[in-house]
Structure 1
Amino acid sequence: MQVKDIMTQALDKIESTASLTEAAKHMSYRDVGILPVSKADQIVGVITDRDIVIRGLAQDKQPGQTTVSEVMTTNLIFCSEGDDIHEAGKLMEEKQVRRLLVSDQNDKLVGVLSLGDLAAKCGEDIFSGEVLEAISEPATPLR
Structure 2
Amino acid sequence: MRVSEAMTRQVHIANPDQSIRDVATIMAECDLGSLPVGENDLLVGMITDRDIAIRAVANGKSPNATTVREVMSQDVKYCFDDAELSDVARNMGDIQLHRLPVVDHDKHLVGILALADIANCEGSEVAGDTVCGLSVPRGH
TM range (shorter): 0.7 to 0.9
Tell me the equivalent position of 2:19: 19
Separation (CA, whole Å) in 1 of partners of 2:90 and 2:69 = 29
Tell me the equivalent position of 2:104: 104
Separation (CA, whole Å) in 2 of partners of 1:41 and 1:85 = 24
Tell me the equivalent position of 2:62: 62
2:90/2:129 contact within 8 Å kept: no
**Number of residue pairs matched?**
140
Superposition TM-score, scaled by structure 1 size:
0.82
Separation (CA, whole Å) in 2 of partners of 1:58 and 1:44 = 24
Give, as a single letter, the amino acid of the residue that structure 1 aligns with 2:103.
S
2:81/2:104 contact within 8 Å kept: yes
Aligned residues: CA RMSD? 2.1
Runs ≥4 residues deviating over 6 A: none
1:14 match: secondary structure = coil
* Alpha-carbon distance, 1:102 to partner: 0.8
Of all paired residues, the percent bearing the same amino acid is 36
> What 5-or-longer segments of structure 1 have no aligned partner?
none
Separation (CA, whole Å) in 2 of partners of 1:85 and 1:127 = 9
Separation (CA, whole Å) in 2 of partners of 1:62 and 1:137 = 35
Tell me the equivalent position of 1:127: 126
Structure 1 residues 33-84: Cα deviation after superposition (integer angstroms, max 9, x where no partner) = 3222134554220112232233333444332222211221111112111222
Deviates more, 1:125-134 or 1:39-48: 39-48
Separation (CA, whole Å) in 2 of partners of 1:44 and 1:57 = 22
